[in-house]
Every structure is written in structure tokens, then in C-alpha cells.
Amino acid sequence: MSRSGWVVVLCAVLVGIGGTIHALGCDTALIIIDVQEAFVTEYGWDTTATGRDIVLAVADLLALARSAGIHIAFIQHLGSPLHTTAEDPRAQFPDAIAPLEEERVFPKTNPDAFSIDEFVSFLESEQVGRLLVCGIASECVHATLTTAHLRGYEVIAIADAHATEDGTQEGAASVNEFWRDTRKMVTPMAEVPWDTYDCSGD
């Protein structure tokens, strides 16, 4: 095959669903769960295990994920206690972490993201095998981690990018300990091996 032919083949391999560019073998996704206006501003579920604001922490994590070119999915909770629609301003993601046009948003009404058929289909179609999980509340993150583990995914809870319903640093830290005790991988974002997961194609 000519050099130009190989270029065409390579470009075809790199183009993912929706026009997003991912390198061959990109099997990692960042899952951002329920980091929405109402939970941060009304309910005060906004403090991570390191004491940082959850939105700022997730914004840093999101920047790292976008730089690495991995898949990104936002989970949007519409059930209890919000009982609302996807268009409600209270259900939106803060501007600092607003999804890009090519990034998928999956509405849910139950704690577990795997209750969303479209989300499961997304992971399967993109051949994702590794999940980096963060968000609000730690309980919803836990439900998603548990199902992912049972389904055979490699799961990593980002230790400094989730917040509990009590909105305290101690609460988030205690959840990290629980995850460690139940043999789930818990890693601070700075220790995530981004070079290993790099799907940017650079």
C-alpha cells in the first residue's frame, strides 16, 4: 500500500463516533457523576477529601482527561431529590466543567450510572474497559463503581474528586477508606498514569 493509502487508513482508525479523535486502542473513559448546580449550590455537597471545592477539583481532572484524549461521559441526575428535567438550570453542570459539544451526557433517575442503557451501549461501542470515576454524591459514585467492578471493568475512583451528601472533607475521606477496604482502586488525580492512558494521538 502507498504512503497516502496508509494515511487514509490511519485517519479512519483515529476518527471515533461523533467526530471525536481517539487513538487506536483508547479504552479509558472519565465518568463525571452528578456534579450539577443544585447539588453544589443548594445542597452544599461540595467538599472533597482534600477540602477542595468539588467543581474546581473536577475541572482540573477534566482538563487532564481532555489533554490525554480519553473518552468523557457526564452523568446527569434527574431523580430524587431533584425530580426535574434535563433542561432545568438546577440540573446543569457548572460552567467550569460544562460538557463540550462532542462529549456525551447521560440523564439518569437512579444512583447507578449503569441503569442507563445508552451509557452501557456507549461503553460497549467505544470498547471502553477502564473507568476513571468522580463526582457527587460519593454514594452514587460507589453504586457505579460497584456495578462496573461486577461487570469486569477496571475501575479507579479519583480520591480527591468526589463529595458526599454530608458535604464534609471527613465524609469524603471516609468513603475513600471504605473503597480501599473493599479492594476498589482509589487514586488521587495527580497519581493517575495519564501517559499510559494517552489517547490523543500526539
Per-residue pLDDT of the chain (202 residues; tens, 9 = 90+): 333 333 323 232 223 333 343 444 589 999 999 999 999 999 999 999 999 999 999 999 999 999 999 999 999 999 989 999 999 999 999 999 999 999 999 999 999 999 999 999 999 999 999 999 999 987 888 899 999 999 999 999 999 999 998 899 998 999 899 888 877 789 999 999 988 887 876 5
Range of the domain at 95: 26-197
Q: What pTM does this model have?
A: 0.86
**121 in any annotated domain:** yes
How much is the pLDDT for 198? 75
**13 in any annotated domain:** no
How much is the pLDDT for 13? 29
**172 in any annotated domain:** yes
In this structure, are strands 104-108 and 130-136 parallel, antiparallel, or unpaired?
unpaired
Q: Report how far residue 185's alpha carbon sits from residue 167's, in angstroms, rounded to the nearest whole number.
A: 22
Amino acid at 104: R
How much is the pLDDT for 11? 32
**80 in any annotated domain:** yes
Residues in the chain: 202
**163 in any annotated domain:** yes
What's the structural domain count of the chain?
Answer: 1
How much is the pLDDT for 10? 27
CATH of the domain at 145: 3.40.50.850
Per the CB < 8 A criterion, the answer to whether 107 and 116 are in contact is yes
**19 in any annotated domain:** no
**78 in any annotated domain:** yes
Q: Report how far residue 62's alpha carbon sits from residue 98's, in angstroms, rounded to the nearest whole number.
A: 10
**6 in any annotated domain:** no
